[in-house]
Structure 1
Amino acid sequence: MERKDHMDAIGAAALIAFALHLAFNQVVIKVTAGGFGPVFQAGLRSVGAVLVLYLWMRLRGVSFSVPRAARAGGIVSGLFFALEFMCLFTALDTTTVSRASVIFYSMPVWLTLIAHVFFPGERLTPAKIAGLLLAMAGVAIALADRGGGSVSWAGDLLALTGALCWAGIVVCVRITPLSEVPPAQQLMFQVLVSAPILLLLAPFLGPLLRDVQPIHIAGLLFQIVAIASLGFLAWFWLMTIYPASSVASFSFLSPVFSVILGWLLLSEDVAPSVWAALVLVASGIYLINRKPRALA
């Protein structure tokens, strides 16, 4: 498809569907943890993604050759990727989908703060500052609410660390020659580096296998094919067609859908404070990513 300078109905529908897709994956991760240890699950997902990406790149004729200058950035992004999902999968194993998602999807907040310092063209604007304050207030409310049996300081802090690592990947791609590498190769670096790290750490972080059932295997396959490989490639594809700011503005939907799906599918008891935190974080992310209107 040709590059577009604005968001159209097809793109909006695709991005809404993708946000729902990512939110559903949070539920899948938590359910799959009933059969696999969280870090082992993340490692298996990366291994499977390597295989799927390899086949996809071969079929599409995408080169596996990466410029030497981009390799260091690729390795660093892979390390961030490993830590991000080790934290996220463990967080979802120790706390609710709603809490983990509200905190994890605060990533644009931390990325905006980092960008203000390191990227001269991305300074804070009044709208971004308002968005930061709203989103940070939402995260603070989520962290402060210690009621309920599924609340875990470890889970909350792991979700927050995962968000910071996610922002770290974006910064790594931006400031290194990795930015000149096609998306498929960037993703291959991340899953290829993360796979052995996660699998080596998994035995030290709890049992590898729990009570494995067909639903857990199906959940793992869903993550491998629909998220960690083809799903991320679809996101990169949308970024090549529509303006990055327009694509990013839909990110506020993922935590919204995650909380709703956790409530509907897992019967999670979502406290009023979590709903309030969700509204603040989603509103803040929207303001941060909203494209300023041109003056008449």
Structure 2
Amino acid sequence: MNSRHPPGASAFALMILLCAIWGFQQVTIKIAIDGISPVLQSGIRSLVGLALLMLWARWRGLPLLQADGTARLGLLAGALFAVEFVFIYAGLAHTTASRMIVFLYTAPCLTVLGLHWCVPGERLHWRHFAGIALAFAGITAGFLGESGSAAGTFLGDLLGLLAAVGWAATTVLIRASGLSRISASKVLGYQLAVSAVVMLPLSPLLGEAGITRLSLPVLLALAYQGVIVAFASYLAWFWLLQTYLVGRLMVFSFLTPLFGVAFGVLFLDDPLTPSFLLAAGCVAAGIVLVNLPQGKKA
């Protein structure tokens, strides 16, 4: 299996950019939902991303369809990817967005535990676990505190936790299996293809209204999800998975909901609360703690 090395400044910068892209996606989903149902949005997003990926692979001469013995693993990764979003969208019908964020973002914690146990090169020390715990505690205090202990949210909370398990399992599977030895483009292709096949027919089965109104903001929001998120950002993310120690990068993913809130304040006039500032401080401290240089042994 290819060796991985600790991320440096360029990887940190790319990861922060990806978190900002994923955080802004929440704004575009809210914009596009005025004309396109959410699960259908996810399916169209994957289909657009897959089409662009095929063009990219053809331009770069990458053999996406060549048999290499990874089909079963790739389909499994794609199924986990699709199931994650099914749980998210289904769970939002039974819990608040703030509670969904808290339960979904147990995924980085689950991921580093899975990597620690399954991938020898991803072993973490107490300082790394402490930093991840601090970042998660900040997210919990910042977002769960906004909604309080809402009644009747058990099913939605459980689905959010299952979505986190799916996200973590996908990352660990890619890093610990033969998928780590193939191109990032092919790994992404598996996931976009399976999620498109699952999401597009699932939308009417869930009783969604589908496409109700197309406007320029709706189309631009959908294009952002397909071109920027599903194609460009996911391709960069899977490249990071195949290049660096993932445990050091996963703590950055806690920035995503913070970016989501910040963009909501900027573009949707959402309120800025003290709990958000507390969450931001804890996440920043956790990131620093996880990525402090390791002291030399005597």
Secondary structure, aligned partner of 1:69: coil
2:82 aligned residue: 82
The equivalences for 1:114-125 within 5 A come to: 114-125=114-125
Which deviates more, 82-91 or 227-236? 82-91
1:169 aligned residue: 170
CA contact (8 A) 2:94 2:153 kept: yes
TM-score (norm 1): 0.80
Q: Distance in 2 between matches of 1:154 and 1:224?
A: 30
Secondary structure, aligned partner of 1:62: coil
CA gap 1:115/1:271 in 2 versus in 1, 3 angstroms: same
CA contact (8 A) 1:32 1:219 kept: yes
How far the C-alpha of 1:116 sits from its partner, in A, is 3.1
Q: Distance in 2 between matches of 1:181 and 1:145?
A: 42
CA contact (8 A) 1:87 1:162 kept: yes
Q: Distance in 2 between matches of 1:182 and 1:108?
A: 23
Structure 1 letter corresponding to 2:112:
T
2:194 aligned residue: 193
How far the C-alpha of 1:32 sits from its partner, in A, is 1.5
| Gapped regions of structure 2 (runs ≥ 5) | none
Which deviates more, 119-128 or 217-226? 119-128
CA contact (8 A) 1:32 1:216 kept: yes
Q: Distance in 2 between matches of 1:17 and 1:140?
A: 23
The equivalences for 1:77-156 within 5 A come to: 77-89=77-89, 100-101=100-101, 103-138=103-138, 140-141=140-141, 142-143=143-144, 146-147=147-148, 156=157
Number of residue pairs aligned between Structure 1 and Structure 2: 292
1:179 aligned residue: 180
How far the C-alpha of 1:197 sits from its partner, in A, is 0.9
CA deviation profile, 1:5-30 (whole Å, cap 9, x unmatched): 7634x655444333322211121122
How far the C-alpha of 1:87 sits from its partner, in A, is 3.3
CA contact (8 A) 2:23 2:259 kept: yes
Structure 2 letter corresponding to 1:259:
V
TM-score (norm 2): 0.80
Secondary structure, aligned partner of 2:195: helix
The equivalences for 1:1-296 within 5 A come to: 7-8=8-9, 12-89=12-89, 100-101=100-101, 103-138=103-138, 140-141=140-141, 142-143=143-144, 146-147=147-148, 156-205=157-206, 206-237=208-239, 247-248=249-250, 250-269=252-271, 272-273=274-275, 275-281=277-283, 283-284=285-286, 287-288=289-290, 292-295=294-297
CA gap 1:117/1:290 in 2 versus in 1, 3 angstroms: same
CA contact (8 A) 2:136 2:254 kept: no
Q: Distance in 1 between matches of 2:91 and 2:268?
A: 16
Q: Distance in 2 between matches of 1:156 and 1:254?
A: 19
Q: Distance in 1 between matches of 2:123 and 2:68?
A: 32
Structure 2 letter corresponding to 1:260:
A
Q: Distance in 2 between matches of 1:16 and 1:136?
A: 17
CA gap 1:79/1:102 in 2 versus in 1, 3 angstroms: same
Structure 1 letter corresponding to 2:39:
V
Give the root-mean-square deviation of aligned CA atoms: 3.5
Q: Distance in 2 between matches of 1:157 and 1:271?
A: 26
- Give aligned-pair identity as a percent: 35
